[in-house]
Amino acid sequence: MSIQAILLPLFVEVALTLGLLLWLFFVRRDDLVSRKVKPAQIALREPNWSTRTLQVGNCLANQFELPVLFYVLTILEIITRHADIVFVVLAWIFVLSRLGHAVIHTTSNQVMQRGSVYGIGALALIVMWIVFMVRILLGLP
């Protein structure tokens, strides 16, 4: 498996995170410039941003939860040379679920739909970790 194939899902996840970061900058700036929010209202991280800004901010925060385990696993798969087609397929399922989760989170924000997509990604990540642990612990290729 090529290093590009292994890292491409990770790069897409990083791009999603950085894209949300930039989007959050612009919506927060708009809230402050339009005076919808005063600096004193958010100075101590109070959740007084506009609903739209909170949606984008919460979505960005989500990118530092499950994806952290994905980043670590990708690095471990490369270091131990265990990354294969199973890993890459599951990585794409995880990353596509994160993209879907972000779209739902920042648009309709339907909690049940968002939760289902989140669950698909979480399940893919759990399977990835179990496969990796079994291979390492049993000395399998």
Alpha-carbon gap, residue 3 to 64, rounded angstroms: 24
pLDDT of 1 > 90? The answer is no
**Residue 45: its pLDDT value, please?**
86
pLDDT of 141 > 90? The answer is no
Alpha-carbon gap, residue 111 to 72, rounded angstroms: 28
**Residue 25: its pLDDT value, please?**
98
| Least confident span in 2-16, 40-54, 93-107 | 40-54
**Residue 93: its pLDDT value, please?**
98
Region 87-98: mean pLDDT is 98
**Which 3 state secondary structure label does DSSP give 134?**
helix
pTM of the model: 0.94
Q: In the structure encoding, which two tokens stand for residue 48, read together?
A: 């007084």
pLDDT in tens, 12-54: 999 999 999 999 999 999 999 999 999 999 999 898 999 999 9
**Residue 21: its pLDDT value, please?**
98
When pLDDT is cut at 50, 70 and 90, the band that residue 68 belongs to is very high
